[in-house]
Amino acid sequence: MNREERIHIERLLDIHRASLRELEVQAATFGDLYVPPHVAHQLAEHRGKIAEMEAQLSTMSPLHNLPPRDYEQFIGRQSELAELRRLLLPRSRAFVITIDGIGGIGKSALALEAAYTWCDSYVTIPEAERFEAIVWVSAKRSYLTADGILERRQAFRTLDDLYAAISQVLDYPAITRARTEEQRAIVEQVLGEQRTLLILDNLETVDDEELMAFLRELPPPAKALVTTRHRIDVAYPVRLTGMPQPDALALIDQEAARKATTLSPDDREQLWLRTGGMPLAIVWSIGLMGLGGSVESVLRRLGSGQSDIAQFCFAESAAQIHGRDAYWLLLALSLFTPDASRKALGMVAGLGEDLFGCDGGLGDLLRLSLVNKSGDRFSLLPLTRSFVQSEVKIHDAWIRDARERWVAYYDDFIDHKSGWSDDWSGHDQVELEIINIFAVFDYLVATLDYEGTSDRDRVVAERSIPHAIMLLHIADRVSRTLRIRGYWRDCERLAQIALPISKATGHQRTTGWLSYTMARIHYYNHSNIETTRIWILDMLSVAQKQGDRAMSSRANLLLGLIELQQNNIEQARPLFNVALEETQLTNSTRGISNILAAMGDLALASGDISTATSHYQQAIDRARQVNDLPKLASHLLHLGIASRTIGELAMAKQELEESLRLARECGWVSVIASALYHLALVDRDQHGMEEARSHVNQALDLFRRLGMRKEQAEAEALLTQMGATP
């Protein structure tokens, strides 16, 4: 049914409805008992005609030239579809909407599905919200198949091509027959007569300023939906990134069924990870498998920056920025995992403090959809990363310098943000960058060269000393953040790698403190006592050789805590006394508060609650003097435990809640978990069972994450006692 036929039926329908209303009024004057036969006949005739025409109109859809769907079932993107529906309503002030993102991300498929949604529900949509016509034009000039990149004729190049499509769909030949200077006025008149949706696919390949001017001044009530790799400033954007895992796996299953290809659960997972949820990459990959390619070979091709999929999606966009600030920022971003801050990118790319160059370059990358942005952090999809890494290979000298800037940036970063800093926002930033810091650490380890014929006499080669010192600095400074924030396995890994390097470079003091890190983690986890003791004795040996009283004090304190953990009270006491004497000689307020708290633990284990409370309070006072939040949180936790032991539940709750607040402020995960567990005990004692269950469940989650098996078992037992399932 063309436009003129539909208009004719709608006009006839209006006439019949008006006649029916008049007849119904006339029939009403005769009453319900008698209606003249000729009136009854006319009523039936009009009602039949109206029903017939409504049935005809019920099959209607907008006038359109949409291409057929090239997918079996549209998967995912439901939130984006809902957003498009909202933006395309008449009341929305968005007249030009873009779907933007890198090539292959599913922009055209989303636009097509949105258009067909309007077509399929045309009859049920309120008349004022309908599109009477949908005009599709595509500027694509290539497409990707399993056989490679194939060229196609670009059907849409200029505003004239759009006018021609509007003329065809609306069956209005006067547009193309008119003189050039008259066409604009005719198009505006025609578009003003009915709601029309213009869909411009692949706009980045169109270079026509007249077209952009037309979009900027789009005549109402028309709307335009544009798909583009390049973001434009006249539109409301809907930005696409990789599909989330459930949707990507559903697409993988659909395509595998179409291609009669069987994938194992691990194959499906790997395909999702390698493609980053990019729909075209998923379809292309399974297409190759359907032609006989093995899963392994296809995954290898996905990792190649020179593959057809990488070239199709990125080569043209990258060529536009080659040699400019944006290009070097893109190459620099490939060093970061998983993302990077604006400042870090600028420094590593070699732009330094040039904020203008950095912002301009990042703006270009965003406009070309080569990077993703979340807050003030930038990232690459896996396929983009593979492509960029292939570009990196042709710039050996530049990337060597960039890696050195990358290392130097993070070396300086952790120096200011981590270690013994009491600026907890700094530790927050370190935690945010932890994966990048690990990447720098692993890179430095891989660059080291050694001299010597055996492990016993092996030393770091002179040329590698600068990198060795940097990685030891990273391990030393970051270990405190990792311990407090609960990244114990990562902390242990760094220490295990760094320890032999510290020995091979003769950095004895670093060796001692790394041994302390290993001992603390084993102590937290209640690991093998003898292994923990060996680490402490290694630390003590270094302390004695170096004459380091602070290190020796920490070692003796930890030895005492191990004895106390095994209920060896009398063996713990002299170790605490030695630790106290050594700390007093160093005038360390921080160290003394820890020892006072340990003496409180000793008194509590002996049943001397009064002395325990006194020691804990002294420890708290010392920690408050220097605003040491981690120690303050820990000491308050122990004081709260002591208060509960003597039945002072209100006081215990107050102390434990303050401990929890301070532990959360500094992010000390193990203290947060313990404070929650002991609050649960107080809640249970006070018959607050619902609050108790909430607290113990939170504690249990953290104990499991940390690997604190003893505490985990206690929390599970408490839940069972309260009639809940762990």
The CA distance from 168 to 185, in Å, is: 17
CA contacts within 13 A on the Cβ side of 13: 15
Res 329: pLDDT: 96
Name the phi and psi angles at 506, rounded to 5.
Answer: 75, 20
When pLDDT is averaged across residues 375-398 and rounded to a whole number, the result is: 92
CA atoms within 13 A on the CB side of 303: 9
Each residue's pLDDT tens digit, 157-192: 999 999 999 999 998 999 999 998 899 999 999 999
pLDDT over threshold 60, residue 1: no
Instruction: Indicate the SS3 state at residue 614.
Output: helix
Q: Looking at the predicted structure, is the pLDDT value of residue 31 above 90? A: no
Among candidate residues 396, 367, 423, 65, the one with its CA nearest the CA of residue 239: 367
CB 192 within 8 A of CB 183: no
Contact 595, 615 (CB under 8 A): no
pLDDT for position 311? 86
- Confidence bin at 5 (pLDDT 50/70/90): low
Q: How distant is the alpha carbon of residue 381 from its chain centre?
A: 11
Q: What pLDDT, on the 0 to 100 scale, is given for residue 36?
A: 82
Mean pLDDT throughout 521-527? 85
Half-sphere exposure (Cβ direction) of 209: Cα atoms closer than 13 Å:
0
Return the exposure string of 466-505: e unless at least 16 CB atoms fall within 10 Å of the residue's CB, then b.
ebbbbbbbbbbbbbbbbbbbbbbebbbbbbebbbebbbbb
Question: Which pLDDT score is estimated for 57?
Answer: 64
> Residue 433 belongs to what H/E stretch?
none
> Distance between CA atoms of 297 and 536, rounded to whole angstroms?
50
Q: What would the two tokens of residue 612 be? A: 């325990």
Alpha-carbon distance values, 182 to 159, 189, 196, 473 (Å): 14, 11, 20, 73
Distance separating alpha carbons of residues 128 and 274, to the nearest angstrom: 45
The pLDDT score that the predictor gives to residue 122 is 85
Confidence of residue 150 (pLDDT cuts 50, 70, 90): confident
Give the per-residue pLDDT at 126. 87
Structure tokens at 548: 């380091």
Average pLDDT over residues 494-510: 93
Q: Which residue has the higher pLDDT, 361 or 353?
A: 361
Is pLDDT above 60 for 514?
Answer: yes
Cα separation, 97 vs 111, in Å, equals 10
H-type alpha helices, 59-124? 78-87, 107-120
Mean pLDDT of 518-533: 89
- Beta strands of 288-402 (E only): which ranges? 339-341, 372-374, 377-379
| Residue 567, phi-psi category: left (phi > 0), alpha (psi -120 to 50), beta (remainder) | left
| Sign, CA torsion 62/67/69/74 | negative
Judge whether 96 and 218 are in contact, CB under 8 Å: yes
pTM, entire model: 0.81
pLDDT at 3: 56
pLDDT for residue 588: 73
Q: pLDDT tens across 74-131, in order? A: 999 999 999 999 999 999 989 999 999 988 999 999 999 999 999 888 878 888 898 9
Q: Please provide the DSSP assignment of 536-572 as one string.
A: HHHHHHHHHHHT-HHHHHHHHHHHHHHHHHTT-HHHH
Q: How far apart are CA 97 and CA 234, in angstroms?
A: 9
CA atoms within 13 Å, Cβ hemisphere of 467: 21
In 10 A of CB 257, how many CB atoms?
12
What pLDDT score was predicted for residue 33? Answer: 65
Average pLDDT over residues 348-368: 88
Of 228-237, 448-457, 615-624, the range with the highest mean pLDDT is 615-624
Whole-number Å distance between alpha carbons of 457 and 454: 6
Query: If you average pLDDT over residues 473-486, what whole number do you get?
Result: 94
Between 50 and 280, whose confidence is greater? 280
Tokens of 629: 């939040």
Report the candidate in 379, 378, 380, 433 with the shortest Cα–Cα distance to residue 411.
433
pLDDT(58) > 70: no
The predicted-structure confidence for 635-680, as pLDDT tens digits, reads as follows 999 999 999 999 999 999 999 999 999 999 999 999 999 999 999 9
Residues 247/78, Cβ–Cβ less than 8 Å: no
Going by C-beta distance under 8 Å and a sequence separation of 6 or more, which residues neighbour residue 79? none
Residue 217 identity: E
Query: Which two structure tokens, joined as six digits, stand for 211?
Result: 């077209």
Q: Worst-scoring range by mean pLDDT, 351-365, 366-380, 504-518?
A: 351-365
CB 98 within 8 A of CB 114: no
pLDDT of 664 reads: 97
Position 724 pLDDT exceeds 80: no
DSSP H stretches of helix in 368-448: 382-392, 396-417, 424-432, 434-447
Helix (H) / strand (E) containing 151: strand 148-151
Confidence of residue 611 (pLDDT cuts 50, 70, 90): very high
State what percent of residues in the chain have pLDDT above 90: 70
- pLDDT, one tens digit per residue, over 562-608 is 999 999 999 999 999 999 999 998 877 778 999 999 999 999 999 99
**459 or 669: whose pLDDT is higher?**
669
Contacts with 234 (C-beta within 8 Å, 6 or more apart), sequence order: 96, 212, 215, 216
Joined tokens for residue 149: 């990149």
Average of per-residue pLDDT across 207-233: 90
Residue 143 confidence (pLDDT): 80
Burial category of 353 from C-beta neighbours within 10 Å (exposed 0-12, middle 13-18, buried 19 and up): exposed
Q: To the nearest whole number, what is the mean pLDDT of the chain?
A: 91
8 Å CB contact between 615 and 644: no
| pLDDT bucket at 151, cuts 50 / 70 / 90 | confident
Q: What are phi and psi of 469, to 5 degrees?
A: -65, -40
- Residues 514-538: what's their mean pLDDT? 91
Identify whether the C-beta of residue 129 lies closer than 8 Å to the C-beta of residue 83: no
Q: How confident is the model at residue 2 (pLDDT cuts 50, 70, 90)?
A: low
- pLDDT for the residue 580: 94
Q: Give the H or E element holding residue 137.
A: strand 133-138
pLDDT the model gives residue 576:
96
- For 429, phi then psi, to 5°, come to -65, -40
Nearest to 373 by CA among 400, 342, 417, 332: 342
Other Cβ atoms within 10 Å of 403 Cβ, number: 17
Can the peptide bond before residue 67 be classed as cis, meaning omega within 30 degrees of 0?
A: no
Residue 385 pLDDT level (bands cut at 50, 70, 90): very high
